[in-house]
Amino acid sequence: MSEYPLVSVVTASYNMAQYVCKAVDSVLGQDYPNIEVIVVNDGSTDDTPARLAIYDDNDRVTVIHQQNMGQTVAKNRGLAAARGEYVGFCDADNIWLPGKLACQVPLLRSRPEVGVVYGNIALIDGDGKPLPPPKTKRYSGRITAKLLVDNFVTFNSTLVPRKILEQVGGFDEDLRMAIDYDLWLRISLEYEFLYVDRPMLEYRIWGGQMSHRTGERMDNFFRLLKKFLETNPDAVSPAEARHAWAHSFTTRGFWLASVGRKSEAWADYRRALGYRLHDKRLWKCMGKTLLGQA
């Protein structure tokens, strides 16, 4: 067994010319000696191909150009090309912090029951300036029930054995958003997750992110939650499933209130009450909505 097993890092990029080389360089700069980077240029119309040409003579970087087919297909194409024992992901607008792989690889090698090692994040803006840190609670162990309530596993912070990604079938190409969330839920059915309380990357918050499409993202999440619970009816207890539904309707309701769609917000709050009458977060959100603080 090699002391330093190969780690494959997949970077999918669409019109991220201003950031993509910073992402790749942050991976190549890791103090871990056995890395390959697979960049999938998903039909970019900016000067991404020209920027990526600097890696033409770098035998650690493989650049794949394809017509625009969406992030799910692009990431799966990167996975198909991966040769490493372990796989990580660094989206084109993010930056891995030093020591990420040196920390994660030994943990995965020593814990066969663990399917995903992940960490915390530092937030930056579009210009790379620091933002206030996130206040997300994160968990280790068998996390399916907690994960149904909230996706606290940051995609770009993870490292996963390639055999597990192959076992669960990679990313679901029927989904356009929340593709990592769906992947973590499927892995959580069979494996533990291990959280390391240190920042693993700089996560960029800026206007070009897909995560800013809040309404579409929430609609997609409801479809995902329904599908997962129908496909895996024994994955969580009935009480845990009700908690997930209540949390989801509360989250959407509060967002609807914040954009002025109050009648729709109260409809979601009523749905949440039907699932979990004494949910503290729900009552807090309803109170803020009544006070005009949403």
Is 60 exceeded by the pLDDT of residue 173? yes
User: Could you tell me if 107 and 136 lie in one domain?
Assistant: yes
Is 284 domain-assigned?
yes
pLDDT band at residue 1, thresholds of 50, 70 and 90? low
pLDDT of residue 206: 80
3-state secondary structure of 79: helix
User: Could you tell me if 173 and 220 lie in one domain?
Assistant: no
User: Could you tell me if 148 and 285 lie in one domain?
Assistant: no
- Structurally, the chain folds into a number of domains equal to 2
Give the model confidence (pLDDT) of 101-119 as tens digits. Answer: 999 999 999 999 999 999 9
Stretch 261-267: mean pLDDT, rounded?
A: 97
pTM of the model: 0.93
**Cβ partners under 8 Å of residue 135, min gap 6:** none
User: Could you tell me if 147 and 100 lie in one domain?
Assistant: yes
> Of the residues 188, 211, 234, which one is the last residue of a structural domain?
211
Type of residue numbered 156? N
* Mean per-residue pLDDT over the chain, rounded: 95
User: Could you tell me if 162 and 57 lie in one domain?
Assistant: yes
> Of the residues 178, 194, 211, which one is the last residue of a structural domain?
211
Is 60 exceeded by the pLDDT of residue 209? no
| 10 closest CA partner among 56, 48, 54, 62 | 62
Is 1 domain-assigned?
no
- Own/partner contacts of 135-144, CB < 8 Å, gap of 24 or more, are 138/195, 138/197, 139/193, 139/195, 140/192, 140/193, 140/194, 140/195, 141/192, 141/193, 142/188, 142/192, 143/188, 143/192, 143/193, 144/185, 144/188, 144/189, 144/235, 144/236
User: Could you tell me if 35 and 123 lie in one domain?
Assistant: yes
Hunting for tokens 């918050």 — which residue is that?
205
Helix (H) or strand (E) holding 75: helix 71-81
pLDDT band at residue 286, thresholds of 50, 70 and 90? very high
User: Could you tell me if 39 and 151 lie in one domain?
Assistant: yes
Give the model confidence (pLDDT) of 30-68 as tens digits. Answer: 999 999 999 999 999 999 999 999 999 999 999 999 999
pLDDT of residue 224: 92
User: Could you tell me if 191 and 231 lie in one domain?
Assistant: no
pLDDT band at residue 212, thresholds of 50, 70 and 90? low
**Cβ partners under 8 Å of residue 42, min gap 6:** 12, 13, 14, 66, 68, 69, 70, 71, 73, 74
pLDDT of residue 3: 86
pLDDT of residue 249: 97
pLDDT of residue 213: 76
> Of the residues 211, 236, 258, which one is the last residue of a structural domain?
211
Residue 205, domain CATH: 3.90.550.10
SS (H, E, C) 167-228: HHCCCCCCCCCCHHHHHHHHHHCCCEEEEEEEEEEEEEECCCCHHHCHHHHHHHHHHHHHHH
For residue 269, how many C-alpha atoms fall within 13 Å in the half-sphere facing its CB?
Answer: 22
Is 134 domain-assigned?
yes
Can you name the residues that pair with 36 across neighbouring β-strands?
A: 8
pLDDT band at residue 267, thresholds of 50, 70 and 90? very high
User: Could you tell me if 217 and 75 lie in one domain?
Assistant: no
Stretch 269-288: mean pLDDT, rounded?
A: 97
Q: Provide the residue range defining the domain that includes 270.
A: 212-290
User: Could you tell me if 157 and 170 lie in one domain?
Assistant: yes
Is 249 domain-assigned?
yes
User: Could you tell me if 230 and 90 lie in one domain?
Assistant: no
Is 2 domain-assigned?
no
User: Could you tell me if 205 and 219 lie in one domain?
Assistant: no
Q: Are strands 114-125 and 192-205 parallel, antiparallel or unpaired?
A: parallel
